[in-house]
Structure 1
């Protein structure tokens, strides 16, 4: 089973999702991430957070959805709506869901406030992935409920 976590820049939320999913999922399941307009680099705070959580970042990089090594079975967009962000639309015939997550990379404030935003984003993503992995059956409705 291949899961694609998709957003625009593929530098923060989708990479947090990919790495966290791969850390928690059974071996037969694999997550990848991509962006419709990749930033070309991972957000350093996202990488540092994953490393603090004991999650490997080896081999992860910002990439385009045009360069996927596999065809996904499930596509989960992780764009947020608070900033009026436009999510890319993956049109291939796959199971799709949207898990709105605001981008902590756009938070402005003190170091503590920015770090708190990254921690909250990770907490939301991890909880949703744990709920995904606990599903008795994977359906669009179940995946969408997780994202609410």
Structure 2
């Protein structure tokens, strides 16, 4: 059995924010966490999100859009939602140890130039803080 903490990142379509978070946590703390992502209404992985990860040198290998239903019956130490809508839809997700709500604007809906890069940076900063604060003692 793994001594790593299991983390599930959730947003609505599992296209950009949760994919970024999954890849970033795998990149930042691979020895401490097993990272997964899912959506309440999954679509497809956003190519701009993959491009932003590639530009940062973060592996996108194995990333695919998944439904939260795919993880039914599994337990997670942390379930982290990345948007308010997912937080509302997943507040009672079975198997969740600690439930954490983060809210990041969907870069696909942002008028900001370099929205994907900006969102990736914001999520990366939050991931680094999460790893620092939640480090197993």
Give the alignment's TM-score, normalised by structure 1. Answer: 0.79
Q: Distance in 1 between matches of 2:55 and 2:29?
A: 19
CA shift for structure 1 position 137: 5.8
Asked whether 1:105 is paired with 2:94, we answer: no
Structure 1: segments with no counterpart, 5+ residues: 81-85, 139-148
Task: Please point out which of 23, 34, 40 is paired with 1:30.
Answer: 34
Structure 2: segments with no counterpart, 5+ residues: none
CA deviations on 1:42-101 (whole Å, 9 max, x unpaired) are 001000111111111111100001112842110000015xxxxx2221422421011110
Q: Distance in 2 between matches of 1:8 and 1:89?
A: 10
SS of structure 2 residue aligned to 1:5: strand
Is this contact kept in 1: 2:10–2:18, CA < 8 A?
yes
Q: Distance in 1 between matches of 2:135 and 2:28?
A: 18
Is this contact kept in 2: 1:2–1:30, CA < 8 A?
yes
More strand by share: 2
Q: After superposition, where does 1:85-100 map in structure 2 within 5 Å?
A: 86-87=85-86, 88-91=89-92, 92=94, 93-100=96-103
Q: Distance in 2 between matches of 1:42 and 1:136?
A: 28
Q: Distance in 2 between matches of 1:137 and 1:32?
A: 18
SS of structure 1 residue aligned to 2:61: coil
Task: Please point out which of 84, 95, 120 is paired with 1:122.
Answer: 120
Q: Which residue in 2 is equivalent to 1:15?
A: 19
Q: RMSD across aligned C-alpha pairs, in angstroms?
A: 1.9
The runs of at least 4 consecutive aligned structure 1 residues that moved more than 6 Å come to none
Q: Which residue in 2 is equivalent to 1:3?
A: 7
Number of aligned residue pairs: 127
Q: Distance in 2 between matches of 1:61 and 1:136?
A: 26
